[in-house]
Structures are given as C-alpha cells and as structure tokens.
A and B are shown apart, each in its own frame.
Chain A
C-alpha cells in the first residue's frame, strides 16, 4: 500500500485540494475502514488520498435540525449517530447503524464513507434510502446540488459524484405525525454480528392513530446492483390499515417487494435463498 496524503483543515482547503488534484488520481479518506481494505488488494501507483480526518469544520461532523429535516454531516461517525438523541426518531437508521460491524469500526467509520462506498449491501445506505434522504453535494467551486439518495447510487460501488465533487451532508426529512412509526432494519446473515448482509430490508412506515398508513419508505439491499426503493410495494400500503392487513395483503406486499429483487448467487448465498428469505421477512414486518 503506497500513497501520499493531503490533509485539509477547512472546507476551503478541502475544495482547493479537490480543485488542484483534478488531473491526479485521488481518493477521499475519512474513516478508512473500507478504503484501507480496498487499497491493500490493489497496486495503485501515484495515488493521493485527501485525508478528511483533520477537517475541523464542525458542520461536516455535526447534526442540525432544520425545517426540512435533520442534516447529518458526512463526517459524522457511526458512534456519533448512536450518541445523538435527535436521530432516534428514525429507528430504521439506528438499527442499521447498530448492526454495522463492531464498536471499533463504528468509532471511525463515517456516514459519508458508507454512502460513497456505494455497496449494495451497505446497511446505513439502505436505511437512508427508506428514509428518502437527500445527498447534499458540494463541488470545488462551492456550489451545492441535492440528489435523492436512491438516485445517488448508479451501480455496484459507483455513484453520481463527479471528480470535483464531495458529499458534504445528508438531509433526512422528518415528517412525523406524532404517532410512533413502524420502523426497523432487518439484516439477514449467518451470524449475529460482523455480517455483510445477505439481504437487508429497511422500512419506515408512518400511520395515523387509527392505523391508516400515510407514507412509507421501504428499501432492500443486496438483491440488485444498487439499493432498491420498493415503490410499488409502498404504493400498495398507502391508505391501508396497518393493524388490519390480511394474510392475502401480506402475501401481495411480499410479492411486490420481490419484484425488485434480482440477486446473484455467490459464495455467501444463492439467489434462491436471497429471494426466499426476502419474501418471508417482508411479511414479518407487520
């Protein structure tokens, strides 16, 4: 493993570093928990790492409440998220973070890093898709654009980020109506810890006090090249009463979820298993 690092201290220095390295081969390093693993297996030459660990701009690490939702800085670590009471309104996110790796990894892994690694098995990414989160991207000229997270991923480990862009923060819309949502994250694996999801299902369903479903976000991981947002399954739920779903309703719902699943078979599991278990657990969320 061989590279040089640049360590900007402010956002200005960061944008400057991005700008001046446009003709070079560079990557961002935040928590390094994915990056170092990747680089160990590659013989990359002339690589520059823009080391984000020294940035002292708190906006990149902090969380702030706005009218539109909660903004989470891309350099917030998983541990920071678990320590933030404001984020507990999104049980799906908290469960996803808790299921990620180990305390040691969670202490340094960042939410930005997890998203930009763009693994279809990414736990936190999956949760954020179900929350309809928005990716806030800044370019080296300081311009900001927003991309819904489901569109942020373009393929396995590929994103919409251009070479002069940097993921600055994630905005999670809050549309709570005062009723506890049915919200959770199911991660399928062979062990109870340290698993890369064979299949994951994230759900955040908002209903009124009668049980009528007003809105929902449902996403699935590890069944396609990117995390899938199950629109048709969501549409099926809107208006129905979550406390009165029949067995038939649940079957239909599971069938709709399965429409989004086109998994591969690999050494971890077969496509058959991934589809079978996805169908089963889809029904179990009610």
Chain B
C-alpha cells in the first residue's frame, strides 16, 4: 500500500506505546507472576552427559514436608517433543546430555523444592559420551538418539539437506581463482535479560490448562503442548506475560514447560518454574554451532562462478528448530550475491552435547561469515578491490536466483554503495604502529516478508472501536520487546486519523486473539502490518458507509483526520465516535468491529528447496572500522556503517533500536562471546565468564536506511529485525584479517586469537 500524500504518523519517531509501564516497573513479566496457592517447581537434571538410568528413588523427596508432587517418566504419560519427536519430556531410561530432566518436584516453597530434588537418588551406569560430530559420524559410533527416524546416510544424522543449482563443473572450469577454507562457529547464547519462566495452572473442574508462557509462537505452542500432554488442544490456553527478550530462543518448547504443566495437572494447583541465570546458561536455547567447509570460485574479472558448501552442525542430543538453520544457510549460499552454480550439503549430527535452538539470524550469521571471508580471499588473490568485487556481484532488482527467490525490490547495491562511501574506505587505514586500523565489508540477505515453513504464514487481526472512539487492536502477533505493538498502533493511527492515545493493542491470550504463526523470520511488521491494514480497510468501509450517509456525500470525498471523518467538499465533519454510535443505535445496527486474516503470497518450496519462500527479501551491507592493538590483540570496533533495505521506514525510533541492538549483539558474537564446553559440560555458566558487550564496548553506529518501497509490504516495508546482526561478525573478521594480513576463520575473535595470528605470521616471516 503506497500513499503519495505525506504521512501523519508513519515515519514519526514514536516511543514504545507501553514504555511507561516498562520504565516504572509496572509491567508483569513471567518472574513477577504470583497466583493463589501457587507451588514452586524444581527439576532434577542428569549428572552425566551420557548414561543409562538404572533406578530412580523418589521416596525421600516425597516424604519431605511441603512437597506436593514428585514426577518421573514412570508416572507420567507424554508424547515426545519437537518436530522430530526425538525428545522425551522426562527421561526414564537414559540420559543423553547434561540438561536431561530425570525428575521434578512441586512444593510449597522454592527452598523446599530445591531441597527435595537433592533427596532423589538416581543410579546411573555411565557411558562414554560423544562430543564431536565427526566422531558421531564414524561407523562404530553408538546410536545417540534412539528415536531418530532421520537419515539413511548415517544413524546419527537428524536432518540432512542437499541442494544444487546450475552446472558446477562448467563454472569450476571458468574460474580463475578457487578458494577453499574451513570455518568454525561456536555456541553462543542470546542471554535474554529475563531468564526462562513458566506458570501453569490446571483446573480439574473444566479440564482447562492455562500456561503463562514467554513463548514467541503461542498457537504453535498450544498445538505442540496438546500433543505432548495428550490433551485436547482446545483445553489449552496460552497467556503471554511481558516477555523479557526472545531473540528466537522461545520458538522451541523445552521440557521444563510440559513438566510444569504436569505438576499442575497432578496437584490441581498453579505451579511456577523459574530459571536463575546459571540454569539459563545451561538449559536454554543457544545458537547452532557448526563447521562450514566452503569452496568458492570467481572468473578473471571477479564475477562469482560457483560455491560448494558442506556444513556439519552439532545437533546435540535432541533435535530442535536449530536443525532447520540449514534451510536459511542454504538461501545465503545460493542467493547472496549473484552466483551461477551452487552445491550445498548440510548435516545436523547428534552428539551428547546440549542442543541448539533458533536464534536471531537462524544460521545466516554463520553462513555469511564463511561466504564473506571467502570473498575477501578471492578479491585478494585476483588483485581486485574488496569493495569493487562486491559491487560487481551485488543482487539486483528483478533478479530470479538459482533457488527461485524473486527480488521484486532489492536494495543490495545501494546499501553497499552507501557503506562504502560513508566509511571513507579508501582513506581510512593505518597500518603502522601499535594500533592498526582498517575497514571490512559484509552484506546479507534474509527473508523480509515472512517465511512459509508451516501450512500458514498468516496473521489475524480483529479491530473494535467503542462508542467513545477508542480503538482496540486484537492482533495475533506477539510483542517480545521488538516494538511490533507500536508499529501496529501507528498504522491504525495513520489510517483512521485518531491519536495513539486512543488505541490499545491486545495480543496476549490465545483465547482472545486471532491466529498468527508467531514471531520469527523477521515477519511481524510485514505480516501483522498487512493484516491490520486489511482489517482497517474493512473498518473504514463500515465507517465510511455511515459517514457518507450522515454527511450526505460520496465515500471518495471523505477524509479520516484529527478524530473526525470529514467531507472535503463541504468542509463539514463528524467526530468518529458519533459515527460509531450512529452505526449501533441506528440502521444498520452494527457494532464497529471487523476481522481480517492475511496470508502472504509465499509458497512452500518444492522438494528441491526451490521457490518463493517469502513475500520479499531484505538486504543489508555493513562496513566496519576496526582498530587492533597489536600488543594485546584486542580488537576495538570504532565505527559500524549499516545500510539496510527496509522497504519503508515505519518507526525510525524502533528501527534504529533494532539496528543498534542487533549490531551490538553481533559484536558480542564476533569478539567476546563463547560458551565453553568440556565433555558436554558448560564451563562458563555465568556473566562473569560469558562476556556480553557492555556500554563501554560499543562502537559508533551509523545507520542509513534504504527505502525500496516493496509493493507487497505495509506502506512498502519489509521485515528487518534479524538482519543487523548477520553481517557484523563477517565484516569485523574481514577488517582484522586485512589489517594484520592474517586469516581469521573462526569466532570469537578474542585478543588471544589475534595475538597468536600475529605471532605465527611473524614466525613465518622470520
């Protein structure tokens, strides 16, 4: 929907509509919920990453005063979790990673629940664990997940993806330069500020289970919970409290959630399970770690010819949405920059490590890291300027890629040009002395109009205007802190000409709100935005019909502005609430309420993964100026130039917030964050030793939005929230590699890694 007249609200800098509640401590997060006669749940987890359970003795725990219920796999009846159904809720026969839930307790206080857990005796027969995917792939490796119906290739592969386009042999022949490298990406955690939480309350009277859950996908959650608990899904109600950060981590259901439900079902009382920070590090969703083997080619002029990719992902003990990152990685290798041929293989391999989840970027940061490093290496080998080679191969409007992605709007080249120019690339290098500076580039491509991975990628909206002109927006989409509610309110304000203070957004209860697939794939602005626009159109039609009658004019003559509906020709108007009352008290005797469901025009990809998976695509480029202290190896990021094709800027304040937050999260992934595991055990489960960026670590961020006015997006907008994280680590690695003339092929780029690289280079020189 493109408007030629200037906008009144869209494009304004609008603070989050409920920021007042959040900033005064009034917002109720999962940790703040207290229900009458609520019990506290605690979970006994495995002592070992791999063992057979010989026996579980809960008798002492059951006898502890204050303990209301103890459950194990022996006294519950559940279905396995996740889309592969390879993850039992409670483990009764064996444990496969240190998260494994062996028993759970509900007690009248947290202290008693924790005490009770310690009284449960479990006899284990310890097995040797497998912690390296390469080891798991060996012929003589044990079967690591006995529910695996996965792959014929290997008993320990959960998911295998194969993709190809073009003629790779032809393209290899055309290549003047071929680069092969291996890249290693670590496990990191989103470290949401609010640790995991759930409150479950079951009533035996009506068999209704209510879950206060910080899920990002309430309707999928409802459905999966019903399957896991073997319950009628219509008896499950999901209510989202204010969510203290998601970043994709809350797409998967983790066992603690059905466990909490089971405790409530068994006791008939509300039960709450809250993680502390240490538990959050150990047991919540993390980013997929992987090894990427990448071979890329380019011809003598620097035009990319082919990519050959092999990805080995550590699937961990159980499958989660992390296994599907192969799907997004595929898209980057097949379609970021023009490339005539691509062969791609990705395997998610079981191990006795913890399993990943789906984290912001969903595999794209890892893929982009590998690809952009290879591009720099090819440029160097061919003697072509690094900015030049990217511009030469940039995606263009109208391109149909080998994978079938259609770029109706494409801001790749303008984004590249913007960051190349703004970073002052040519002038900005200092390669002498202790502190060396230089610039690195990276681009990215991500879905911007949803992603059809479920039978529906749609979102429903119900609008209700009351007799006083107050609009309630009941949207299926969820707010996880990213500002989606505010954008929807702005759209309603723009279309109806009413103030933001006359709008409320409701979106927390599956009993109330219409269906939406959930917050993922940066889809909310696009899909929920289009959904509310569809609903607003219906609402305006209702109001216009009545207003035109009352103002005695045609519908085309009407303008919604300043809380009124005005006839342009006669300059007479009625307040909008008067029209609402007239609709109700006079014919047609209707309430001012409408509903609309929007399904984006994407399709499922075919079995070769080709096709239009998203309504549109977002592009972005970054140029990062970095300073390396050659005495300590410390990398200091000075400036990040971000240019992103967002289609249309809806709320600059919210947009900038997402860009800045994403870049800084990317900075952490690039430089300081790493989950260090030894034999399946996490060695640094605290903020003491897991280093997220602080306020003193941030660079100057220069943001330049590109508006390509995507026809299918609301006001031309595309989704954008994952994108700012994706190119940052790649650009930083490129900058450091260039400045020091070394190769950085893994993350994080710690001072030690840099100093070693400098040292090795000096040794080879000598």
Contact = CB atoms under 8 A, between A and B. Distances in A.
Answer yes or no: A and B touching, Cβ < 8 Å: yes
Interface of A: 188, 190-196, 267-270, 272-273, 276-277, 280-281, 283-284
A277 B672 contact: no
B251 to A, nearest CB: 29
Contacts, number: 53
A195 B631 CA distance: 18
B696 interface: yes
A194 B684 CA distance: 15
A268 B752 CA distance: 10
Contact of B755 (A192, A193, A277): A277
Interface stretch (B80-88, B253-261, B686-694): B686-694
A270 B688 contact: no
A283 B687 CA distance: 32
A195 B634 CA distance: 13
Nearest to A102: B694
B278 to A, nearest CB: 9
A273 B684 CA distance: 19
Contacts of A281: 631-632
Contacts of B694: 191-194
B676 interface: yes
A190 B684 contact: no
B751 interface: yes
A40 to B, nearest CB: 9
B693 A191 contact: yes
Contacts of A276: 755, 759
Interface in B660-712: 671-672, 676, 683-684, 687-689, 691, 693-697
B208 interface: no
Contacts of B631: 277, 280-281, 283-284
Of the candidates B434, B631, B755, the one having the most CB atoms from chain A within 10 angstroms of its own CB is B631
Given A190-B671, A284-B631, A196 B696 contact: no
B750 interface: yes
Q: Give chain B's interface residue range (CB within 8 Å of chain A).
A: 20 to 34
Given A190-B691, A280-B632, A273 B697 contact: no
Given A280-B631, A281-B631, A273 B693 contact: no
Nearest to A192: B696
Contact of A267 (B434, B671, B676): B676
A193 B688 contact: no
Interface in B38-61: none
Contact of B689 (A188, A268, A270, A272): A268
Contacts of A284: 434, 631
Instruction: Identify whether the interface residues of A are mostly helix, strand, loop, or mixed.
Output: loop
Nearest to B634: A190
Contacts of A191: 672, 691, 693-694, 696-697
B671 A193 contact: no
Interface in B608-657: 631-634
16 contacts: A188-B751, A191-B694, A191-B697, A192-B694, A192-B697, A193-B695, A193-B697, A195-B691, A196-B688, A270-B752, A273-B752, A273-B756, A276-B755, A281-B631, A284-B434, A284-B631
Contact of A277 (B633, B671, B687): B633
A277 B751 CA distance: 10
A196 B233 CA distance: 50
Contacts of A269: 752
Given A190-B691, A268-B689, 7 more contacts: A193-B694, A193-B696, A276-B755, A277-B633, A280-B631, A280-B632, A284-B631
A277 B632 CA distance: 5
A267 B689 contact: yes
A79 B697 CA distance: 22
Contacts of B683: 267
Contacts of B697: 191-193
Contacts of B691: 190-191, 194-195
A183 to B, nearest CB: 19
Contacts of A192: 694, 696-697
A191 B674 CA distance: 13
B244 to A, nearest CB: 20
Contacts of A280: 631-632
A194 B692 CA distance: 10
A281 B759 CA distance: 15
Contacts of B751: 188, 190, 273, 277
Contacts of B756: 272-273
B692 to A, nearest CB: 8
Contacts of B632: 188, 277, 280-281
B120 to A, nearest CB: 17
A107 B600 CA distance: 54
Contacts of B687: 194
Nearest to A2: B111
Nearest to A276: B755
B635 to A, nearest CB: 9
B672 A190 contact: yes
Contacts of B750: 190
Interface string B246-285: 0000000000000000000000000000000000000000
A273 B633 CA distance: 10
Contacts of A277: 631-633, 751, 755
Contacts of B634: 190
Interface string B723-743: 000000000000000000000
A242 B120 CA distance: 66
A94 B117 CA distance: 47
A106 B631 CA distance: 29
A41 to B, nearest CB: 9
A1 B501 CA distance: 48
Sorted from nearest, which 5 A-B pairs have the closest CB atoms?
A: A280-B631, A192-B696, A273-B752, A193-B694, A193-B696
Contacts of A194: 687, 691, 694
Nearest to A195: B691
A281 B751 CA distance: 13
B193 to A, nearest CB: 15
Nearest to B674: A267
Nearest to B749: A190
A216 B694 CA distance: 34
Nearest to B636: A192
A272 B316 CA distance: 32
Contacts of B752: 269-270, 273
Nearest to A273: B752
A188 B751 CA distance: 9
Of the candidates B434, B687, B750, the one having the most CB atoms from chain A within 10 angstroms of its own CB is B750
Contacts of A195: 691
Nearest to B111: A2
A194 B631 CA distance: 21
A281 B697 CA distance: 21
A270 B633 CA distance: 14
Of the candidates A190, A276, A283, the one having the most CB atoms from chain B within 10 angstroms of its own CB is A190
Contacts of B759: 276
B691 to A, nearest CB: 5
A196 B691 CA distance: 11
A188 B754 CA distance: 14
Of the candidates A191, A195, A283, the one having the most CB atoms from chain B within 10 angstroms of its own CB is A191
A268 B684 CA distance: 9
A284 B631 CA distance: 9
Of the candidates A269, A280, A283, A284, the one having the most CB atoms from chain B within 10 angstroms of its own CB is A280
Nearest to B750: A190
Contacts of B676: 267
A62 B750 CA distance: 41
B407 to A, nearest CB: 39
Contacts of A267: 676, 683-684, 689
A183 B712 CA distance: 63
Nearest to B758: A276
Contacts of A196: 688
Contacts of B695: 193
A161 B756 CA distance: 41
B520 to A, nearest CB: 30
Nearest to A41: B278
A269 B691 CA distance: 13
